[in-house]
Chains A and B, each alone.
Chain A
Amino acid sequence: MDNYMKLEIPGKSQNEAFARVAVAAFAAQADPTIDEISDIKTAVSEAVTNAIIHGYENGPGIIMISSVLTGSRLEITVVDYGTGIADIEQARQPLYTTKPELERSGMGFTIMENFMDEFTVTSSPGQGTTVTMVKVFNGITQPCES
């Protein structure tokens, strides 16, 4: 492991910008492109917003954000301990939302999946949701010494 960070924030909407900027600032040491930083900020924003709106339904709750940088590979994990997701496959469908009345676009998971190189969701109803995302900078891993 080359470097890591951990961040704990209450699930308040004003922390969305802080969370995405904090992870982007951590990622900056790997010398990413502007587009890669933009992708990371958007994906983190989606994960944290989901935790606030769906995990805690805009109520109180803690969100844990951690990130591990190994060479040019950045892994980001966003955890909430909220309501969880009953049907992950359904939730991952583009435009699917459980909260159309809040004008949710249903594109959060689709954006995370498309903007990052790897994306996984695990969830248990009543226990919470963990989103793990990986970005490999420049689209390639560090070449191995031979």
Chain B
Amino acid sequence: MQAKLRMAGKTLVVRMQGELDHHTVDILREQIDEKVTGGQANNVLFNFQSVNFMDSSGLGMVLGRYRAVMEKGGRVLACSLQPPVQRVFELSGLQNRIPVFHTEQEALRNV
């Protein structure tokens, strides 16, 4: 798992690449939390374009960021879900809490 983080205004855009599981989520969690707790980011956008695998550990990481960001009054969004990730989102009902968009641009327009 590799991730590129960039700021788009007050939104942290997290472009992930690879597989999101128990082994790989910890580093990503730390990277995101540094920006959120440091106050640089109000919102977080997860871009799943290059994520071809996610299990419940990835789900837990996203939900954890959702709770932390919501507490600060921000929003968490997701975009570009690939079918395996989409399936986990749907089963967990995550898309009922986190708005999902087709593209990063579309998501950023709706922050």
Contact = CB atoms under 8 A, between A and B. Distances in A.
**B interface, over-half SS:** helix
Contacts of A42: 53, 55, 84, 87-88
Interface stretch (A13-21, A62-70, A72-80): A13-21
Interface in A92-146: 102-108, 110-111, 114-115
Interface of B: 19, 21-23, 29, 53, 55-57, 59-61, 63-64, 83-84, 87-88, 91-92
Given A17-B23, A38-B84, A108 B64 contact: no
A52 interface: yes
Among B53, B55, B60, B83, max chain A CB count under 10 A is at B55
A107 B22 CA distance: 13
Contacts, number: 64
A45 B21 CA distance: 8
B21 A105 contact: no
- Most B CB within 10 A of own CB, among A17, A106, A107: A107
B83 A49 contact: no
Interface residues of A, number: 24
B83 A53 contact: no
A130 to B, nearest CB: 19
A14 B53 contact: no
